[in-house]
Amino acid sequence: MLNLLCFKILYLILFCIDFPQTATENAFCDEKDQYEEADKRCNVQSHYSRNRYILYDVNSPEGFNLRRDVYIRVAVFIKNLVKQDKEFKWKLVLPPWGNLYHWRTKQIGPQTQLPWSLFFDIPSLQKYIPVIEMHQFIQEYPSEEKQTQLDVIYVLQNDEDMFRTGKFEDKNEVIECTDESLTYNKPESNRYNRYFWGYSNVTFGNVKCVKFHGMISDLRRNLMPTVYRSVMFDHMEIALHDSYGSHEYWRARCSMRYNPELYSIANEYRKHFLNSTDKDDNTEISNDWTKKKNKRDALGGPYLAVHLRRRDFLVGRSSTVPTIESAASQVKKTMDHFGLKLLFVATDTTEEEFNNLKDYLFEYTVLRFIPSNSVLNKFKDGGVAIIDQIICSYARYFLGTYESTFTFRIQEDREIIGFPTETTFNVLCKDTKKCGSNGQWEIVW
């Protein structure tokens, strides 16, 4: 009997040891007469032991490419956390893609709960930080009665006073949640009932509203890993980059390689329609981004690529978006300057406007990527947009849309491939007189 007791105690020590217990839990594990109950709990705990999970979501109207920028902020945050805190095993749970405003194709069914692996190369992301998909998290995180309960959710909010007065200072202050701050669903007995990403089986133990202003690293004090195993941040777009455009930013950005199948589709298209291959265009880069080399001698395929952003930009950014006629004239001027005859157009415009553009550019071959049904069904609107971006990123010369994050991501990819900056950081102007600049966000090696 004594032996059995000793064995049980040893067992409890071994399996509870790396789980940081609260005082109550410690007392619980020490109680010899309750060892059976503790044994059961520690069995469960041994599954996740020192694992700590961070989840996040972004303001629902935000588009795909702003969300990618938020990922970089989070990735750098996790990277530093992993480096500095050896006590816990930090993992980032990738927020599934879905219900984006711009994803409008109806015939492919609902575009929800899409895993990151559909768009990105997960092993490549994992070379930067430990990431897991949501469906993996649901499997590996202990659940009760098929409900996955996260320990805490922080709902980040801007401090409106700062925006009113223009006086900005760092803030990370837990405030009382109002109905307005929990607009998705009213809290019911302190439960946050919004179904994140449509998972009705994911619930929250604790909801905290936080007025936040400052860099993302300041969220470290909200983690409290000895209390919480899983922490979710809603409205993560509110937290700012720790060091935008730094070496670390670019490392995280480089890790965001796309799903290899998307590269294959784009490369086939380049080869068949644009006479473009990596070998001929001097655009070969290592499959492993950690082995990337500092170079600026990419030539690019013999085509000009333009990102012609329309739809909501025509309304929200009417002061910077050109007419089709003006866009055509700017494109023509650039193509003539470089002696190019092939034009690739990435655009969210209508068939009618695209044909209109082609009419203005009748002397050139004007192409856009039209996905097959199987590509569209498999990779959805998000995958097709990435194929457009990849093709743009390999052009000899690129013209983007002013202040579009879709354009920014293409410019970054061109920096990674190694193009001279003057072929990349160019945007269409409203008209010939007035032209803004997106700036030049050069890669830092």
Active-site residue list: 62
Closest residue by Cα to residue 222 from 341, 95, 77: 77
Q: Encoding tokens for residue 378? A: 């498999």
Torsions phi, psi for 54 (to 5 deg): -115, 130
CB of 316 to ligand GFB, least distance (A): 4
Alpha carbons 174 and 151: distance in angstroms, whole number: 16
CB of 286 to ligand GFB, least distance (A): 27
Cβ distance to ligand GFB smaller for residue 78 or 266:
266
Q: How far is CA 362 from CA 54, 111, 329, in A?
A: 52, 36, 12
Q: How far is CA 417 from CA 101, 152, 164, 304, 407, in A?
A: 30, 41, 42, 16, 15
Alpha carbons 16 and 39: distance in angstroms, whole number: 9
**Binding site residues, ligand GFB, CB under 6 A:** 61-66, 102-103, 307, 309, 312-313, 316, 346-348, 381, 384-385, 388, 404-406
DSSP character string of 233-291: EESGGGSBPSSTTSHHHHHHHHT-PBPHHHHHHHHHHHHHHH---HHHHT----SSGGG
CB of 64 to ligand GFB, least distance (A): 4
Task: State the Cα torsion 23-25-26-32 to the nearest 10°.
Answer: 140
* C-alpha triplet 316, 318, 320: angle, nearest 5°: 115
Cβ distance to ligand GFB smaller for residue 284 or 312:
312
CB of 266 to ligand GFB, least distance (A): 12
CB of 202 to ligand GFB, least distance (A): 25
CB of 375 to ligand GFB, least distance (A): 12
Cβ distance to ligand GFB smaller for residue 62 or 442:
62
CB of 334 to ligand GFB, least distance (A): 18
The answer to whether 92 touches 435, Cβ cutoff 8 Å, is no
Q: Which amino acid is at 214?
A: G
Cβ distance to ligand GFB smaller for residue 110 or 316:
316
The answer to whether 216 touches 240, Cβ cutoff 8 Å, is yes
Sequence-ordered list of residues with C-beta below 8 angstroms from that of 186, at least 6 positions apart, any chain: 179, 193
Alpha carbons 381 and 378: distance in angstroms, whole number: 9
Cβ distance to ligand GFB smaller for residue 230 or 404:
404
Sequence-ordered list of residues with C-beta below 8 angstroms from that of 143, at least 6 positions apart, any chain: 149, 201
Using CB atoms, what's the residue nearest to ligand GFB? 63
Cβ distance to ligand GFB smaller for residue 52 or 67:
67
Cβ distance to ligand GFB smaller for residue 58 or 152:
58
Residues forming beta bridges with residue 304, ordered by sequence position = 343, 397
Cβ distance to ligand GFB smaller for residue 229 or 409:
409
Sequence-ordered list of residues with C-beta below 8 angstroms from that of 295, at least 6 positions apart, any chain: 418
Q: Encoding tokens for residue 48? A: 């996740």
CB of 339 to ligand GFB, least distance (A): 25
First to last CA, the chain: 64
